[in-house]
Amino acid sequence: MSHALPNTAISLVAIQVGNTRTKIGLFKDGALERSVRFENEGFAQIVEEATRMWAELDSCELTAIVVASVNETTAAPLREMLADQLGEEIYRIGESMPVPIGTCLDPAATPGTDRLLNAAAAFDLLQSACILVDCGTCVTVDFVDGEGVFHGGAIAPGARMQLDAMHHGTAQLPAVALARPVGDPWGANTQEAMIRGVYHGIRGLVWRLVEQYAERFGGFPPVIATGGDTDLIFGDDELIDRIVPDLTLLGVFAAARAALLPDESASTPTKQRAELGALGTDWANFEDTDKPSDDCGDSGCSHKH
């Protein structure tokens, strides 16, 4: 199933370099036609697939190759190789292409590009406040207000990181592969106990954070989930309203559209609306010239295109 976003007269190869995996997506005229995922060690496969996708865009009018990364050790040589092999400019999210999302954070905060891209994509799709859950190497739970402003969230170790830490941090706990627990709620052996602790620990963590965000916001916004372990951990959880496996790639597309088609992209919210958006839904008649709320400090709100 393809996901299409508004204002879509652009085609691109979007590359998302994570801590352990790289995902590549092919967008044609704004629709995500397909995506593939590789372990970061499969460098040659990544380059080959990106080159193949780029060739499929020969007939498209406005095209780009865009790389987003939280792992420069992998991303830097990948950009260099693609630029050399294709003879094209390789756009980099965060430098040549900012993420089109407002922020309300501490001045020194440096949120991961993937978190901001998820926020931009989710707001692009929903046009409403939302909570974003990303289950990958780490688990993140972030909040975006009703004006499309990212307020930050929480970060915890991912499921595989937790299992690995228990194995390497103790003398007796074994190496265990992540799996969905079945049968009794308690584990009858060490491996089953470890899996249950990690699996239900992450679900409980996310539930509690969502409840806190909703209480602060004044209502339950949609909860959108993404990341490599999301289906396994949250596939049957009623907390999640929608699982979007390619959410970060959709954020890359939103950034490319905002940078290459600026006249087609919606403006980023004003600081005053960012502040009030964090307080709930009773702001429909708020005017930008009114006195801003004290909820979010002036130095922490920025609105980037």
Would you list the DSSP string of 210-272?
HHHHHHHHTS---EEEESTTHHHHHTT-TT-SEE-TTHHHHHHHHHHHHHH-GGGSPPPPPHH
CA separation for the pair 273, 303 (Å, rounded): 11
Nearest Cα residue to 30 out of 212, 219, 253: 253
DSSP 304: -
- Check whether residue 116 and residue 2 sit in a common domain: no
Residue 304, Cβ neighbours under 10 Å: how many? 12
- Check whether residue 70 and residue 190 sit in a common domain: no
pLDDT for res 186: 96
**Active-site residue flag, 184:** no
- Check whether residue 253 and residue 120 sit in a common domain: yes
From 84, 106, 114, 241, the catalytic residue:
114
- Supply the angle between the helices 72-86 and 43-55 in degrees, to the nearest 10: 40
Last residue of a domain, one of 32, 66, 92: 92
- Check whether residue 23 and residue 43 sit in a common domain: yes
Residue 235, Cβ neighbours under 10 Å: how many? 11
Residue 157's domain comprises: 99-305
One digit per residue, the tens of pLDDT, for the chain of length 305 reads 445 555 457 999 999 999 889 999 999 988 999 999 999 998 899 999 999 999 999 999 899 999 999 999 999 999 999 999 999 999 999 888 999 999 999 999 999 999 999 999 999 999 999 999 999 999 999 999 999 999 999 999 999 999 999 999 999 999 999 999 999 999 999 999 999 999 999 999 999 999 999 999 999 999 999 999 999 999 999 999 999 999 999 999 999 999 998 776 544 444 433 443 433 333 233 233 343 344 554 445 654 43
- Check whether residue 117 and residue 262 sit in a common domain: yes
Last residue of a domain, one of 36, 67, 92: 92
CA separation for the pair 140, 276 (Å, rounded): 24
pLDDT for res 188: 97
pLDDT for res 261: 87
Residue 15 sits in a domain of what CATH number? 3.30.420.40
Verdict on whether the full-model pTM lies above 0.85: no
* Pair 121, 32: CB distance under 8 Å: no
pLDDT for res 272: 38
- Check whether residue 179 and residue 259 sit in a common domain: yes
- Check whether residue 119 and residue 254 sit in a common domain: yes
- Check whether residue 122 and residue 154 sit in a common domain: yes
* Pair 152, 143: CB distance under 8 Å: yes
CA separation for the pair 104, 4 (Å, rounded): 28
Q: Cα–Cα–Cα angle for 212, 305, 149, nearest 5°?
A: 15
pLDDT for res 3: 54
44 three-class SS: helix
- Check whether residue 126 and residue 55 sit in a common domain: no
pLDDT for res 78: 94
CA separation for the pair 102, 275 (Å, rounded): 11
- Check whether residue 52 and residue 172 sit in a common domain: no
Burial of 196 (0-12, 13-18, 19+ CB in 10 A): middle
- Check whether residue 136 and residue 224 sit in a common domain: yes
pLDDT for res 40: 92
Burial of 275 (0-12, 13-18, 19+ CB in 10 A): buried
- Check whether residue 285 and residue 137 sit in a common domain: yes
CA separation for the pair 142, 149 (Å, rounded): 11
* Domains contained in the chain, number: 2
Last residue of a domain, one of 27, 58, 92: 92
